[in-house]
Amino acid sequence: MWENILLGFATAMTVENLMYCFVGVFLGTFIGVLPGLGSLAAISMLLPMSFYLEPTTALILLAGIYYGGEYGGSIASILLNLPGTPSAAVTCLDGNPMAKQGRAGVALFVTAIASFVGGSVGVVALMGFGPSIAQLGLSFGPADYFALMLLGLVAAVTVGGGSLVKGLIMVVLGLLLGTAGTDVTSGEFRYTFGFLELRDGVSLVAIAMGLFGIAEVVSSVREAGTRKITEKVTMRSMMPTRADMRRTVGPMARGSSIGGFLGALPGAGTVIAAFLAYATEIRVAKDKTRFGKGAVEGVAAPESANNAAAQTAFIPTLTIGIPGSATMSIMLGALMIHGITPGPLLVTDHPTIFWGLIASFWIGNLFLLVLNIPLIGLWVKVLQFPYKYIYPVVIALICIGVFSMRTSVFDVGLVVIFGGLGYLLQRTGYSAAPLILGFVLGPMLEENLRRAMLMARGDAMRMVSDPVTGSILGLSAAMLIWAIYGGVRNVIRSRQVKDIPPGET
């Protein structure tokens, strides 16, 4: 155990890896600060940069971009009250009131500290539980894998909130997009329409850039002109008072444990972690009225939960090969581009990658802390820079990034299609994250189902009757039924409200 951790730090501590970790955190924060772009867009935009690197270094760079993007998103949401991600929305509840009271600096400082604490707790959990879960994963058969992936997809749709039908549409569309290309089992081409480029499947980066990059930029062009930041954030204004410090210790401890636990479960881990941590703080607080008006606990708890969950979300991704969120699926895609298949064997076959990555997670978190406190003034400047000079460059970078993936003009064409579709889907209330998750899991889901059905001789009941497979499938079914029940209940309620004659309410 200890020698593995040492091996990890030895891998991560080379000058080259440290440099790329720094570059990743810096660029990730830069992109995350830009309105409308979050960590997912940051990873997809900078993914091509990682192709020229060793797999371990590439992953370290991507992990750095991920943290940087998350933190940059929090800066933008606290100062502008414009959450880029659902989990940042929770931070906004008290973070933005703090900014309005002239305490933006303290809010940002607490965010940085809470992220670091949460991240560190998550890294420890990843070190402690990762290998044993990988061990467990070794005993899984195709049917169990199928059931687990199904659970992840169902959780992504039901837990995130929003319309169940729309979520399911997105997952199924993602799975369907995943079938395009060469069928692994038979070698037949599916949905290639005669294009050579589609034989390897649709490019993940083209989909992600269209759905998250282009669609987000289009929707933020108009809004961005109207926002102004007036608060001055200096390093001195970031220093919290002694009372602030005392108040954040408990929330950070509770937030990290909640986040660490929830993050390891498949589905929308970080969002629920942030919400639950916030709700817990309100429950344990003596004076509940302070929340929503700039309580420092309301920033510390969700931020630590969100970051702990972000770390433990790597547990299922790395050890079983099943990503729990859209961002994790991009990371999984990046791993596979580098020829590494995440799964139980990763821990034993590629110890330098597994442990090096974990060590660099922690170093990345540390960099984030060191980088962001002195550089906060710079990030605020970036945020104040007129958006009209930023978005054309972002679009250009998306284009060159997608093109350079496979030096393919075809893929840039796909971005046009997915960008157009993505914007329309976003306007009409569809969330793109389940689509990405479905797209990445699709081929694995199909392959495992086909193998499982072959082993069960085409009898689905044999799959269900296995205790492990059956209970995971049962859990997915229960979540789906619960969500349908909730949806039906809402419809009935809204009908009842409508029946009340106007004027009485």
Partner 1 sequence: MHLANLRFTVAGILAVIGISAFVIALGYEFGSARRMGPGYFPVVLSGILTLLAVSEMISAAMKPGAIAVDWRPFMAILAAVAGFAVTMALFGMIPAFFVVIGLSTLSEPRFGWVPALILAVVTSTGAWLLFSRFLGMTMPLFDWP
C-beta separation of 62 from 50 below 8 A: yes
Closest to 92 (Cα-Cα) out of 79, 109, 106: 79
481 binds partner 1 (CB under 8 A): no
Identify which of residues 156 and 358 has a Cβ nearer to partner 1 in the complex: 156
| Maximum separation of any 2 CA atoms in the chain, in Å | 72
482 binds partner 1 (CB under 8 A): no
Among 292, 403, 468, 480, binds partner 1 (CB under 8 A): 403
Q: Which two tokens stand for residue 225?
A: 């002109």
Spacing of C-alpha 361 from chain mean position: 15
CA dist 60 and 355 (Å) reads 11
Among 148, 217, 264, 332, binds partner 1 (CB under 8 A): 217
**Contact region for partner 1 (CB under 8 A) — 16-24, 57-65, 331-339, 398-406?**
398-406
Identify which of residues 54 and 183 has a Cβ nearer to partner 1 in the complex: 183
Strand partners, 189: 182
454 binds partner 1 (CB under 8 A): yes
**Contact region for partner 1 (CB under 8 A) — 10-18, 227-235, 243-251, 443-451?**
443-451
Identify which of residues 301 and 421 has a Cβ nearer to partner 1 in the complex: 421
219 binds partner 1 (CB under 8 A): yes
Would you give the DSSP letter of residue 503?
T
Closest to 63 (Cα-Cα) out of 43, 85, 88, 48: 43
The single residue listed with the structure tokens 């059931």 is 147
SS3 of the chain: helix, strand, coil, percent, to 5: 80, 0, 20
Identify which of residues 23 and 134 has a Cβ nearer to partner 1 in the complex: 23
Identify which of residues 2 and 389 has a Cβ nearer to partner 1 in the complex: 389
227 binds partner 1 (CB under 8 A): no
419 binds partner 1 (CB under 8 A): yes
480 binds partner 1 (CB under 8 A): no
Among 288, 381, 427, 489, binds partner 1 (CB under 8 A): 427
Binding mask 169-208 for partner 1 (x = CB under 8 A): x--xx-xx--x---x-xx-x-xx-----------------
E strands, 94-213, where?
A: 181-182, 189-190
Site residue total, partner 1 (CB under 8 A):
63
Which of 98-126 are b and which e, b meaning 16 or more Cβ less than 10 Å from the residue's Cβ? Answer: bbeeebbbbbbbbbbbbbbbbbbbbbbbb
- What angle is formed at CA 224 by the lines to CA 223 and CA 230, rounded to 5 degrees? 120
Q: Spell out the long-range contacts of 96-101 with Cβ–Cβ below 8 A and sequence spacing 24 or more.
A: 97/292, 97/293, 97/294, 98/294, 98/296, 98/299, 99/231, 100/294, 101/294
Closest to 119 (Cα-Cα) out of 259, 239, 254, 324: 259
Least Å distance, CB 370 to partner 1, is 25
- What angle is formed at CA 314 by the lines to CA 379 and CA 406, rounded to 5 degrees? 75
Binding mask 42-61 for partner 1 (x = CB under 8 A): -------x--x---------
Identify which of residues 141 and 250 has a Cβ nearer to partner 1 in the complex: 141
Closest to 367 (Cα-Cα) out of 25, 62, 123: 25
Binding mask 137-176 for partner 1 (x = CB under 8 A): ----------------------------xx-xx--xx-xx
392 binds partner 1 (CB under 8 A): yes
Identify which of residues 22 and 116 has a Cβ nearer to partner 1 in the complex: 22
Least Å distance, CB 463 to partner 1, is 11
497 binds partner 1 (CB under 8 A): no
Q: Is 166 exposed, middle or buried (0-12, 13-18, 19+ CB in 10 A)?
A: middle
Identify which of residues 331 and 452 has a Cβ nearer to partner 1 in the complex: 452
Residue ranges binding partner 1 (CB under 8 A) = 49, 52, 165-166, 168-169, 172-173, 175-176, 179, 183, 185-186, 188, 190-191, 214, 217-219, 221-222, 225, 388-389, 391-393, 395-400, 403-404, 407, 409, 412-413, 415-416, 419-421, 423-425, 427-430, 446, 449-450, 453-454, 456-460
